[in-house]
């Protein structure tokens, strides 16, 4: 599956087993950059961990529960994006994303989140797309803010990362939003 973006050199593709070595390498070189915000980073210690994640997420996608994709720039993996939770009853999905530190500040993840949001609201037929970001993760928070998501609230101590409870900001976009 490929989700197009408006950026000519940027694409979103569902992760496959063939992506394991490259995906692991990007995570591995970005550990310091990602670890303060993402609880799964310390759990990914070998390519085998990435292979398990891809297998589980591909099986979960059969039931439309979660979707794990890579973000590619000029064909190379530079990050990840996907549906981390799907609430079918309420037609709502929660997105998660991360980007190689060397690629930050170029609008790449904004373009990817925009494309994924559009795809969820149109092709997937969801009514609501949510994003949660840690209060202090300013770069991740700027993305939904730039894309016109509504900041709906603060989820106090809603995530535990490296043994620290983090407050999370909840953003949402509805299909009916302009």
pLDDT given at position 15? 97
Tens of pLDDT, residue by residue over 55-106, are: 999 999 998 889 999 999 999 999 999 999 999 999 999 999 999 999 999 9
Domain boundaries along the sequence of the chain? 2-174
Q: How confident is the model at residue 178 (pLDDT cuts 50, 70, 90)?
A: confident
Q: How confident is the model at residue 127 (pLDDT cuts 50, 70, 90)?
A: very high
Q: How confident is the model at residue 50 (pLDDT cuts 50, 70, 90)?
A: very high
Contacts of 151 (CB under 8 A, 6+ apart): 144, 145, 169, 170, 171
Does position 1 have pLDDT exceeding 80, yes or no? no
- The domain made up of 2-174 is a member of CATH 3.40.630.30: yes
Element (H, E) at 87: strand 76-87
| Tally of helices (H runs) and strands (E runs) in the chain | 5, 8
């Amino acid at each position: 599956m490929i989700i197009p973006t408006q950026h000519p050199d940027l694409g979103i593709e569902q992760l496959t087993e063939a992506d394991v070595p490259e995906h692991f390498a990007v995570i591995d070189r970005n550990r310091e950059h990602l670890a303060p915000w993402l609880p799964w980073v310390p759990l990914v210690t070998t390519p085998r961990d990435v292979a398990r994640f891809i297998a589980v997420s591909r099986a979960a996608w059969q039931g439309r529960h979660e979707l794990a994709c890579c973000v590619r720039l000029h064909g190379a993996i530079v990050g990840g994006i996907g549906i981390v939770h799907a609430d079918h009853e309420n037609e709502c999905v929660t997105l998660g994303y991360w980007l190689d530190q060397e690629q930050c500040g170029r609008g790449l993840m904004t373009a990817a989140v925009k494309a994924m949001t559009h795809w969820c609201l149109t092709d997937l037929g969801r009514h609501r797309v949510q994003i949660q970001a840690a209060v202090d993760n300013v770069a991740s928070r700027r993305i939904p803010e730039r894309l016109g998501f509504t900041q709906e609230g603060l989820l106090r101590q809603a995530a535990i990362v490296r043994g620290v409870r983090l407050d999370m900001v909840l953003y949402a976009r509805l299909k009916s939003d302009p």
